[in-house]
């Protein structure tokens, strides 16, 4: 997704997506904060997480850069820019729909309607698949194991009595092996292993 957006941005006004891309604000990763800003948080756990995330994003950049350099006719050398990558990567991270699903997308109109002065986090669930807890299914990603979906089931059960929840774990169908598999699947290491 980031590579596609990067390519479209390099086309400038010739890109079909130019009006949308022009509206997207610059994104600053908190992992890029200065050491003094990080210390101001007074949160050692957050600082450690941001340092780990910074390493992950840096690795993403190095992998991304290899691809850009490999195609100089498409990506001119002056466009192989870490700052541009960070901005576009930030756009994808903050604006994609479908995080936690097998694929994701960016939807300009939905994106424009999705932003206001109130923070919202939406998790799409399939109530039937959630109850089946089929661990081999692509449906189960990290958030599906750890989130508490009690309210979704209570709301839907009260409407039509469809779900028998007496023997079901709807607070989170956590399975460590699948969780670890998903963590690997979306890691820099997995991408690196695929490229080698």
Which residue has tokens 């469809």? 162
Is the CA virtual torsion 58, 180, 46, 144 positive or negative?
positive
User: Are the C-beta atoms of residues 29 and 55 closer than 8 Å to each other?
Assistant: no
Q: Where are the domains of the chain?
A: 2-121, 127-180
- 91 or 125, which is more confident: 91
User: Are the C-beta atoms of residues 5 and 87 closer than 8 Å to each other?
Assistant: no
Residues 2-34 pLDDT 10s = 888 888 888 888 998 888 888 887 888 887 888
Query: Bridge partners of 97?
Result: 105
Residues whose CB is less than 8 angstroms from the CB of residue 9 and which lie 6 or more positions away in sequence, other chains included: 15, 21, 84, 88
What pTM, to 2 d.p., does this model score?
Answer: 0.54
Residues whose CB is less than 8 angstroms from the CB of residue 116 and which lie 6 or more positions away in sequence, other chains included: none
The CATH architecture to which 2-121 belongs is: Alpha-Beta Complex (3.90)
């Amino acid at each position: 997704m980031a590579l596609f957006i990067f390519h479209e941005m390099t086309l400038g006004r010739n890109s079909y997506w130019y009006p949308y891309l022009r509206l997207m604000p610059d994104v600053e990763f908190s992992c890029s904060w200065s050491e003094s800003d990080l210390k101001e948080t007074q949160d050692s756990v957050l600082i450690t997480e941001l340092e780990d995330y910074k390493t992950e994003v840096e690795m993403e950049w190095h992998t991304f850069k290899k691809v850009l350099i490999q195609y100089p006719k498409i990506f001119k050398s002056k466009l192989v820019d870490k700052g541009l990558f960070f901005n576009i990567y930030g756009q994808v991270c903050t604006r994609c729909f479908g995080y936690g699903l097998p694929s994701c997308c960016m939807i300009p109109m939905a994106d424009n309607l999705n932003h206001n002065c109130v923070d919202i986090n939406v998790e799409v669930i399939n109530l039937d698949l959630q109850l089946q807890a089929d661990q081999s299914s692509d449906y189960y990603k990290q958030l599906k194991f750890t989130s508490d979906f009690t309210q979704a089931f209570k709301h839907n059960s009260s409407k039509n009595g469809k779900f028998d929840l007496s023997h079901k774990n709807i607070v989170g169908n956590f399975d460590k092996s699948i969780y670890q598999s998903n963590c690997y699947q979306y890691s820099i290491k997995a991408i690196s292993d695929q490229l080698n």
